[in-house]
Amino acid sequence: MKYDWSKITSSAYLTLLELDLHEFPIPANKIKCKNVMICSYQKYSKKTGCSIEKITLGHELDDAFLLKGLRPGLTMILYDKEKYGARLKHTLWHEVGHIKCNHKNHGEQEEIEAHFFAAQANAPNVLIKAISQRGYAITIPFLMECFGLSEEAAKKKKEYLNKYGFEHSNEYDDVVLMQFNDYINRKYPPKTTHFFDDYYDDMEREREKW
**pLDDT tens readout for residues 2-51:** 889 889 999 999 999 999 999 999 998 899 998 899 988 888 888 889 88
Mean pLDDT of 142-167: 90
Phi, psi angle pair for 78, to nearest 5°:
-105, 140
Of 32, 8, 9, the residue nearest 20 (C-alpha): 32
pLDDT tens per residue, range 189-201: 998 665 555 545 5
Domains of the chain by residue range? 5-208
- What pLDDT, on the 0 to 100 scale, is given for residue 197? 53
Q: Which residues contact 2 (CB under 8 A, 6 or more apart)?
A: none
Helix axes 151-164, 108-122, angle to 10 degrees: 100
pTM, full prediction:
0.84
- What pLDDT, on the 0 to 100 scale, is given for residue 44? 85
| Alpha-carbon span 149 to 51, nearest angstrom | 31
